[in-house]
């Protein structure tokens, strides 16, 4: 959950609690105030009647006076009672329902006769007034809570915008792709300090990465010349005579080691050039045609181990990429399938649904899928490998946003490349292919 949503959720929870607590409290407080007002009116009216009893002299006058006010009830009684105020309900023929009333009851004496006097006051209007006040209160609270949440949302979006921009810059930052990062200035000091710290971190990381790339590339270039000279000297040494058997063995070992160094140096230089995006020239390429060409080149190596190569080009896949890199990608996968296969084994090259799969028989155990594409990682029995072939495959796929996966099933090792096909490259290749 986003930080802003968490803040709003806390505000909403607090507002809901306040809303649920204040509405009942407000209802009972206002109701009590209204009842107190009605009670005061009833008491004043009852007191006024008692003070004016001297003007009534006969029972007939009293009954006539009582009938003049429908809210007054007068009943003869022999039991004196204290004044009391209470709530009750009465059936209203007009509204056909029970209606609330507030009453005060007490004794009065007229002409030596004790009477119980009851004065009633309808609470219907008070209840309607209370309901109206309650509705207004609820509406005000809802508007207040809604407005607070809306304002908080608006302010939070504007307030946190520099943070989200900085977060996006961090998510999209790539060391091998230099670009100017745009940080939005903020009136909040903490965000400005965060932007400054991130910018400094990116700058230092980029500088270190550039130094590392330059060192790798320069080292690879500088090593080419002495390695070539060393190789030529070894070849001259092989041609000298006489050479003892022991000397020949040492020279062969040196020659094999130097060739591995040359191959390793070329692979490191290739990785550096890929990371530096030095292969920017692109063409519309047919994966099936490139696979057929590479298979023809590697066929003698496969024949030496009596390997059978099957091809199933079920779909025509075209990509817009550098031809050298795509050839290296396919060549490395084919080399891997031949080198680590078993004698009299099989290799299958398949294209289907924008995917290229190169599978081969070999070791009856799966390779480590988490490390197989790491640099210098070697499985058992691969001591003569540089450990960079599959790392180069991974880097080429990363460069073009291809997906590369490894699977093992029933003694077969599967390497699958999922290509990112653009409509432009597909249509361009189709037009060129039919034109040819």
Domain ranges for the chain: 3-144, 189-275, 283-435
278-217-221 Cα angle (round to 5):
110
Four-residue CA torsion sign, 119, 125, 130, 133: negative
pLDDT at 258: 74
Q: Which residues contact 37 (CB under 8 A, 6 or more apart)?
A: none
pLDDT at 431 over 60: no
pLDDT at 56: 64
Question: What is the mean pLDDT of the segment spanning 18-40?
Answer: 82
What is the band of 262 on the pLDDT scale with cuts at 50, 70, 90?
Answer: confident
Tokens standing for 375?
A: 């640099």
What is the band of 278 on the pLDDT scale with cuts at 50, 70, 90?
Answer: low
pLDDT at 342 over 50: yes
Residue 346 backbone phi and psi in degrees, to 5: -135, 155
Residue 361 backbone phi and psi in degrees, to 5: -75, 165
Ranges 162-171, 294-303, 392-401: which has the least confidence:
162-171
pLDDT at 425: 45
What is the band of 436 on the pLDDT scale with cuts at 50, 70, 90?
Answer: very low
- Cis before 142 (ω within 30): no
Give the model confidence (pLDDT) of 66-113 as tens digits: 666 667 777 788 888 888 888 888 777 776 778 788 888 888 777 777
Cα separation of 49 and 115, whole Å? 13
pLDDT at 222 over 60: yes
Question: What is the mean pLDDT of the segment spanning 16-39?
Answer: 81
On the question of a common fold for 3-144 and 189-275, the answer reads no
Q: Which percentage of the chain shows pLDDT scores above 90? A: 1
pLDDT at 2: 61
Question: What is the mean pLDDT of the segment spanning 281-309?
Answer: 88
What is the band of 427 on the pLDDT scale with cuts at 50, 70, 90?
Answer: very low
Question: What is the mean pLDDT of the segment spanning 159-175?
Answer: 76
pLDDT at 434: 33
What is the band of 55 on the pLDDT scale with cuts at 50, 70, 90?
Answer: low
Strand 308-313, strand 346-352: pairing: parallel
Residue 320 backbone phi and psi in degrees, to 5: -105, 100
pLDDT at 433: 34
CATH class (in words) of the domain with range 3-144: alpha beta
pLDDT at 429 over 50: no
Ranges 137-141, 273-277, 334-338: which has the least confidence:
273-277
- pLDDT: which is higher, 434 or 151: 151
pLDDT at 176 over 70: no
What is the band of 423 on the pLDDT scale with cuts at 50, 70, 90?
Answer: very low
pLDDT at 401 over 80: yes
What is the band of 426 on the pLDDT scale with cuts at 50, 70, 90?
Answer: very low
Share the mean pLDDT of the chain: 77
CATH assignment, 189-275: 1.10.287.130
pLDDT at 232: 83
DSSP-based helix, strand, coil % in the chain, nearest 5? 60, 20, 25
408-337-309 Cα angle (round to 5):
105
Tokens standing for 210?
A: 């550039």
171-173-177 Cα angle (round to 5):
150
CATH assignment, 283-435: 3.30.565.10
Strand 403-409, strand 346-352: pairing: unpaired
């Amino acid at each position: 959950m986003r930080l802003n949503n968490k803040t709003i959720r806390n505000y909403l929870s607090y507002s809901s609690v306040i809303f649920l607590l204040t509405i009942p409290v407000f209802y009972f407080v206002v109701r009590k105030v209204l009842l107190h007002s009605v009670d005061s009116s009833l008491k004043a009216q009852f007191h006024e009647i008692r003070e004016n009893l001297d003007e009534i002299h006969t029972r007939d006058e009293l009954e006539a006076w009582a009938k003049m006010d429908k809210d007054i009830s007068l009943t003869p009684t022999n039991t004196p009672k204290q004044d009391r105020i209470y709530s009750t309900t009465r059936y209203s023929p007009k509204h056909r329902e029970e209606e609330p009333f507030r009453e005060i009851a007490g004794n009065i004496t007229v002409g030596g006769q004790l009477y119980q006097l009851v004065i009633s006051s309808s609470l219907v209007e008070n209840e309607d007034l209370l309901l109206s006040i309650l509705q207004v209160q609820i509406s005000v609270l809802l508007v207040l809570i809604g407005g607070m949440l809306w304002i908080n949302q608006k302010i939070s979006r504007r307030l946190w915008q520099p943070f989200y921009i900085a977060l996006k810059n961090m998510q999209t930052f790539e060391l091998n792709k230099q670009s100017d990062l745009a940080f939005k200035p903020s009136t909040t000091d903490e965000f400005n300090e965060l932007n400054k710290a991130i910018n400094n971190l990116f700058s230092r990381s980029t500088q270190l990465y550039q130094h590392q790339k330059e060192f790798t590339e320069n080292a690879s270039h500088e090593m080419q010349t002495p390695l070539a000279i060393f190789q030529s000297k070894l070849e001259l040494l092989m041609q000298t005579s006489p050479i003892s058997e022991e000397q020949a063995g040492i020279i062969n070992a040196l020659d094999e080691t130097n060739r591995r160094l040359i191959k390793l140096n070329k692979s490191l230089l290739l990785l550096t050039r890929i990371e530096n995006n030095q292969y920017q020239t692109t063409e519309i390429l047919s994966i099936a045609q490139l696979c057929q060409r590479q298979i023809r080149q590697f066929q003698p190596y496969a024949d030496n181990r009596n390997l059978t190569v099957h091809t199933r080009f079920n779909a025509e896949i075209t990509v817009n990429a550098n031809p050298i890199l795509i050839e290296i990608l396919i060549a490395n996968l084919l080399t891997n399938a031949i080198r680590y296969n078993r004698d009299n084994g099989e290799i299958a090259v398949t294209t289907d649904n924008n995917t290229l799969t190169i599978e081969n028989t070999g070791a009856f155990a799966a390779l480590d899928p988490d490390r197989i594409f790491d640099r210098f990682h070697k499985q058992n029995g691969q001591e003569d490998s540089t450990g960079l072939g599959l790392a180069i495959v991974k880097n080429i796929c990363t460069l073009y946003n291809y997906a590369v996966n490894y699977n093992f099933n029933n003694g077969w090792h599967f390497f699958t490349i999922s290509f990112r096909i653009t409509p432009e490259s597909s249509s361009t290749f189709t037009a060129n292919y039919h034109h040819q």
